Structure 1
Amino acid sequence: MHIRFLMGCLLLTVVSVAQPPQSNPGSNHGNRFEQLGYLLQSPNEYRTASGAPGPKYWQQKADYDISVELDEANLRLTGTETITYFNNSPDALTYLWLQVDGNIHHPDHDYLRNGRNRMEATMSNAQLVNLEKWRLAKETDLGVKITKLTDGAGNSLKYTINQTMMRVDLPTALKPGQKFVFKIDWNYKIPDRGVWGSRGGYEYFAEDGNSVFTMSQFYPRMAVYSDFQGWQNTQFSGGAEFALTFGNFKVKMTVPGDFVVAATGECQNYNQLLTPAQQQRWKQAQTAKDVVEVVTLDEAKANEKDKSTDKKTWIYSAENVRDFAWGASRKFIWDAMPTYVEGKKIMSMSYYPKEAYGLWRKYSTKVTAHTLKIYSKHTIPYPYPVALSVEASQGMEYPMIAFNYGRTEKDGTYSEATKYGMIGVVIHEVGHNFFPMIVNSDERQYWWMDEGLNTFTQFLTEGEFDNNYPSRRGPAHLITDYMKLPKDQLEPIMTMGDNVAQVGSNAYAKAATGLNILRETVMGRELFDYSFREYARRWAFKHPTPADLFRTMEDASAVDLDWFWRGWYYGTEPVDISLDSVRWFKLNDASNAAAFQQKQFDAVHKLRNKDDKSIVYATDADTSLRDYYYFNPDADGKFAQQQREAAIPVDNENKSKWANKNFYELSFTNKGGMVMPVIVEWTFKDGSKEVDRVPVSVWKLNEQKFTKVFIKDKEVAAIRIDPMRETADIDESNNLWPVKEMPSKFTLFRQGGGPARGASTGGNSMQRAQNKN
């Protein structure tokens, strides 16, 4: 799921601990570089110490045969499904757990009662309704109604529904290697997405009296039973999403006759659904060099006006997917073009109402194709035959289909923010095909494994779309405001999904930024890219955990990254590396002693005192205060130094080798806590620059401070730490020599209501330019 703004256990679920336990507390070393060890699950036959699936790795399978009918007038979906569940585990199962996510809006669900709220001086009707949304849910008759549950032979089965989870009690234990067939009949009232904020539902367009339906989480779905946690039966509470079982789907969707349906998989009966002209365009799209409209703008507008009274059934099938979703509307324009990944053809397609035409016709399908290519380059080749992008004023992902946003003004113009918001959400949601639709992590437990990995790959894909793309999540310097927050407003990335306060900053941005820092600063692109692809290859169509990612990245690169996982993912300490002092040494040519002469730099207070004309020094006001040492400062020290130098034998043989070298001794402290490589940029007096990279291991024997000498041929004018802002250092003012004041910045804004999500903000530059012409 794409979170556009900040939201309003196998391993270790960290909730209240700011830092993981330390084995050497109180010491200046031996803590941040401690191996993860006990924080990861023990290797076994299912998951190896290398991070690869073990020789006895297993996972369950569930196949679905589903038939649904959409009642547009009454906004109700009625369905029946047959599930064939395969027990590939070594365990005998006495019951099965299913997810019934449509119950998120049932009046008895905790989700509707556990929200925090308060009274304000002015309250809108919507705010008042939200105070008791459970009552509205009851009045609206929301929630899934199970009308029948039988086994394959038609015998009734006992079941229990606990909010969004449904337990089916088996008549006899399902032994390893056996399968169980059962059938569920159900129906539910389709929610208004604008009111309920649900991932699935409808959006009503008052101007033409039509709706766009996005049907997701619309059927009872098998929960995951795994080797590392048994049944994943944590309740769905509207935030952290789903872990699901792979299988094959056949789905029949009966809708009004003029609806266009976009769904997971491939349609099996276009010849019964499309007009001859549309079939010809669909055939043309198979080999087109550019986007082809299969259902045109004019046809969609005609459908809006002349509503059909008959029905049609669209049949889709999909293999080896973990879920199924679909969109339907008579408003849909549908365009398509082929995309090729390693010689395999994939149909990239988009479905959108006329309100989005000016943006979507230009960008959606081509951005979808670009996403498939770049994600495939960085992970595995896209394995499915289609990829769909559906405009639905929201961002949400399912196998082969993504719901996205982005609409123009009525005159067809749009703002720059709307353009990049739309492109970004298409990349993000289509990219979710890889994480977690293929590399199938459990977001309910580890929100970041889904969203963080996908946001990182989105960042790479944005960068390859346009080198000036204004990416918001990934660049290290953009996470520092979050890292600066007080500790009671932070939690480790490894925190269980629904316990994260600022999901956008934590599970998306910080997790993605961490991977970018690994790629650009810690490991280098070659080692990182190989290891990241290896993780995707190993765990495609399987259920990985964080330990599998951590171990694979190290196993494939030979880079010890435990310090990074421990600090960035298990901890909340920020990066703040301070350049405390600079000392400059040159060979002493004034004597015969082969010693070094130090040139002291004036401290900042001395420099500023010189510029302060209001200061009258006592030794100037009363010259009688001056003595020998006033005119010969540090005379005793210099004499002692001369004596020491005189006692040192001269190395004339090597003296010329060091005569013109400049020795700079730099002292650093770790003020933030998170260790990181130290990047030093030198600016020389002739204007040239040079960068030295000090590996993170420099902190191993003292995690609080270190001193290091650098030898330069030229005299240095300035030094800057982390010049490319690649380590997420939260305080750049202590990264400079000579010391410079860093101004704080603020923005003056006029408070007011914002536009609907995905809509242009109005007054855009494109619109202004058109008005001038």
Structure 2
Amino acid sequence: MKNLIRGLALFGLLAGPFIAMAQDTKFGQLGQELPTPNTYRTASGAPGHQYWQQRADYTIKVELNDENQSVTGSETITYTNNSPDVLTYLWVQLDQNIFEPKSMSNMTQTGTLQDRMSTAAVEHLTREAFDGGYKIRAVKDRNGKDLKYTINNTMMRIDLPAPLKPKQSYTFSIDWFNFINDQKALGGRGGYEYFPGDGNYLYEMAQWFPRMAVYDDVNGWQHKQFLGAGEFALPFGDYKVSITVPADHIVASTGELQNASQVLTSAQQKRFADAAKADKPTLIVTQEEATQAEKNKAKGKKTWVYSAKNVRDFAWASSRKFIWDAMNVKVGNQNILAMSYYPKEANPLWGQYSTESVAHTLKVYSKHTIDYPYPVAISVHGPVGGMEYPMLSFNGYRPEADGTYSANTKYGLITVIIHEVGHNFFPMIINSDERQWTWMDEGLNTFMQYIAEQEWEKGYPSRRGEPANIVDYMKSAKNTQVPIMTNSESVLQFGNNAYGKPATALNILRETVMGRELFDHAFKEYANRWAFKHPMPADFFRTMEDASGVDLDWFWRGWFYTTDHTDIAIEGVKWFTIDSQNPDFVNAQKREQQNKAPQTLSQQRNLQDIKRTRLDERPELADFYNKYDPLATTATDKERYQKFYASLSDNEKKVLDSGLNFYEVGFRNLGGLVMPLIVRMEYEDGTDEVVNIPAEIWRYNNEEVTKVFVTEKPVVSFTLDPFLQTADTDLSNNSYPRRMAPSRFDLFKQNRQQQPNPMQQQRQESSRGAGNGNSGSNR
């Protein structure tokens, strides 16, 4: 730093900055990108005074066949038209039809063949087709008269015998049958798992019944085909569901159990009542009871009846293998039953962590959004790695057969439960259109998941949320990325795009752009405005700005509408000090610089090789200039300075005597994404200072800017983004002077044997230690 340019004229310092020609491409307002506000959705992001949404109420009877893994169902739907439009037909979703052999989802799957193919890959290609689509047996009106319907892949249009006018309701019924998919073999958001050790099945039933599509003021009917990625757009309603299963099965479900006395033993009913008051997980069905049920399969059937109010969907799970525990969670003025259902294969991990994770999620999410409004929240373990429904979620991760587990398994379980239970808020309550905008549920929920993880344990190993964790994706090839604002079925790198990037964007918005106070208020306002309604992206963008008073159009444009990334470089630093013109100070400083100036290689060798010079041998050759010191202060120098100093005003003298340092720092935007500049200055005395500069510094020039920093102490280094707040993809250009970052390479020998997890390893070591101790005592 000491060799940087010095010598800033006193009065030149006071001149204004050079203003470049304005470039509004990054800071232009989101005009045509967002829909025009209207009486349904306002410019502030709130629902308008004429906002409306449809309603669908269900009465369903379904029976599970444990012999051939199928369900037979009959539902009655009452559809209420709250729109100002006249409807001549209704659209119903048939998501299970993706399991038809010639479904659009199956037929559009791409793939490649290799010269060497594994047997498992070939088996997958040659597997007998699974016919798992709906078999629609009847569609009738409330009087039992057949209705005309047309099935288009995963959608069914029901033609109404008469137009359905505003404020009118229409009741009709659907009877159906379908086989349940083997989730391990065929995938899917629901399905069954077979346990060969005891010959039992565990069922997780999702998208299991024909469901009404959404009709809204933005899209009309949301009837985009379900191809597997884009999830669901669903209206709210009340449900009464009767689920008939084998007599020894335990059923977990959306809603509240209506007939506990008919399906639970007296002991289980008492435990259920005790759990509702417990402050820690309490068993309702024990592992011993579940193990007995596995061995002694009961004959006969039982019907479990559940009721749910104001939900957008309904799911359930059933197995004789279920252990069941529960505890009470107090949120606001409401007591909520947090519950878990899991087979013995999930213990001890699930018994320790599942219900506690549910309770933790409800507390943290309620603090940042709205109080959890439903009476129960459930985590179920089975074949599905992670999926969410109102009040109920399916979650993966189980320990090894010996009961040990790795840290990854433990934190993976806690993470997936937080995430899936968190989906109760996004989108089960704040009911966004998942078929179109995955990020509105997955991204917002992953952001909240990150907050909940960090409140679970200090140093929690969160995979998503921290800006540094999205860097590899942000700098990946552009042809492998699409903007966040892309339809769910067209997203590339789904996890990074729909989960990681929006979650990181919100974290940066909270920590770096807005600050926690403004962000948290606006985020909570969005949740309250759109609870039990259908928000769109514009509603979120506008509410965040409206409730915070921060113009964020540049942020939404960069992070959500482009694939730009953050790469801001410090291009150079110029150091200026004020020329005080005081000869004593100026000359002393010049002498110090002269003494510290490095010697050239020739100068170093001359000192060593030239023992005596000509002048050393003949001193009489010396004259005035051999004795003259150009850095000595003369009386004339002092007199000239005193006249100059007397001519200054008091303020000018104050500036001249301040000893301030002025640094002109250049910044270049290499990645295209404009972001705030967080600059750390390290001073000569070992202290430092961090300056936060809003992103609007780029508003006149999106590509390069300069900033002047005024300091009392000399700066030895500048560092950009020192706390890794902006997902900068290249840290090598973030320092001045440049700093080398070490990289490492690994030496390894390939080991094909699976290594034990740390719990297993400790047991093995303890076992060996006990063995050695015994042998020693026998000597």
Deviations 1:591-630, CA, capped at 9 Å, x for gaps: 47999x999xx9xxxx9xx99999999xx99xxxxxxxxx
Task: Output aligned runs, 1:103-502, within 5 Å.
Answer: 103-131=97-125, 136-137=128-129, 140-393=130-383, 394-502=385-493
Q: CA deviation at 1:589?
A: 3.6
Q: CA deviation at 1:672?
A: 1.0
Aligned 8 A contact 1:28 1:704 in 2 = no
Distance 2:600 2:240 in 1: 81
Aligned 8 A contact 1:346 1:387 in 2 = yes
Q: CA deviation at 1:131?
A: 3.4
Distance 1:504 1:752 in 2: 30
Closer, same or farther: CA 748–281 of 1 in aligned 2, 3 Å: farther
Aligned 8 A contact 1:593 1:648 in 2 = no
Distance 1:475 1:498 in 2: 26
Letter aligned with residue 104 of structure 2: D
Aligned 8 A contact 1:335 1:349 in 2 = yes
Distance 2:479 2:220 in 1: 33
Could you say which residue in structure 2 is the equivalent of 1:712?
711
Closer, same or farther: CA 482–266 of 1 in aligned 2, 3 Å: same
Q: CA deviation at 1:352?
A: 0.4
Letter aligned with residue 408 of structure 1: P
Considering only CA atoms, is the larger Rg found in Structure 1 or Structure 2? Answer: 2
Task: Give the TM-score taking structure 1 as reference length.
Answer: 0.88
Could you say which residue in structure 1 is the equivalent of 2:741?
742
- Alignment partner of 1:767 out of 753, 760, 766: 760
Closer, same or farther: CA 679–614 of 1 in aligned 2, 3 Å: farther
Could you say which residue in structure 2 is the equivalent of 1:89?
83
Q: CA deviation at 1:684?
A: 1.6
Task: Give the TM-score taking structure 2 as reference length.
Answer: 0.87
Could you say which residue in structure 2 is the equivalent of 1:45?
39
Distance 2:455 2:749 in 1: 35
Q: CA deviation at 1:117?
A: 1.1
Q: Percent identity?
A: 54
Aligned 8 A contact 2:63 2:73 in 1 = yes
Deviations 1:454-487, CA, capped at 9 Å, x for gaps: 0000001101111210111110111111110121
Q: Give secondary structure in 2 for the equivalent of 1:556.
A: helix
- Alignment partner of 1:576 out of 567, 577, 581: 567
Aligned 8 A contact 1:588 1:594 in 2 = no
Deviations 1:703-735, CA, capped at 9 Å, x for gaps: 111111112222222221111000111111111
Task: Output aligned runs, 1:463-542, within 5 Å.
Answer: 463-542=454-533
Letter aligned with residue 653 of structure 2: K
Closer, same or farther: CA 615–165 of 1 in aligned 2, 3 Å: farther
Letter aligned with residue 712 of structure 2: D
Aligned 8 A contact 1:335 1:365 in 2 = yes
Letter aligned with residue 111 of structure 2: N
Could you say which residue in structure 1 is the equivalent of 2:619?
none
Deviations 1:478-502, CA, capped at 9 Å, x for gaps: 1111110121111100011111110
Closer, same or farther: CA 593–576 of 1 in aligned 2, 3 Å: farther
Deviations 1:105-157, CA, capped at 9 Å, x for gaps: 10120211212211123323432244366xx33xx332110011100000000
Matched, 1:662 2:655: no
Closer, same or farther: CA 212–430 of 1 in aligned 2, 3 Å: same
Letter aligned with residue 523 of structure 1: M
Could you say which residue in structure 1 is the equivalent of 2:613?
none
Letter aligned with residue 499 of structure 2: Y
Aligned 8 A contact 2:99 2:131 in 1 = no
Aligned 8 A contact 2:22 2:699 in 1 = no
Aligned 8 A contact 1:583 1:598 in 2 = no
Question: Which stretch has the larger CA shift, 680-689 or 341-350?
Answer: 680-689
Closer, same or farther: CA 41–614 of 1 in aligned 2, 3 Å: farther
After superposing on structure 2, the runs of 4+ consecutive aligned residues of structure 1 that deviate more than 4 Å are 590-595, 610-617, 645-650, 744-754
Could you say which residue in structure 1 is the equivalent of 2:727?
728
Deviations 1:294-342, CA, capped at 9 Å, x for gaps: 0001111111111111110000000000000001101100000000001
Closer, same or farther: CA 46–258 of 1 in aligned 2, 3 Å: same
Closer, same or farther: CA 762–291 of 1 in aligned 2, 3 Å: farther
Could you say which residue in structure 1 is the equivalent of 2:777?
none
Distance 1:224 1:147 in 2: 24
Q: CA deviation at 1:283?
A: 1.2
Aligned 8 A contact 1:452 1:508 in 2 = yes
Task: Output aligned runs, 1:3-14, within 5 Å.
Answer: none
Aligned 8 A contact 1:375 1:457 in 2 = yes
Aligned 8 A contact 1:594 1:651 in 2 = no
Aligned 8 A contact 1:586 1:659 in 2 = no
Could you say which residue in structure 2 is the equivalent of 1:651?
648
Equivalenced residue count is 710
Q: CA deviation at 1:279?
A: 1.1
Q: Give secondary structure in 2 for the equivalent of 1:172.
A: strand
Q: CA deviation at 1:280?
A: 1.2
Aligned 8 A contact 1:663 1:710 in 2 = yes
Distance 1:201 1:44 in 2: 43
Unaligned runs of 5+ residues in structure 2 are: 1-19, 610-629, 631-636, 767-779
Q: Give secondary structure in 2 for the equivalent of 1:370.
A: helix
Deviations 1:390-412, CA, capped at 9 Å, x for gaps: 01241000000000011111221
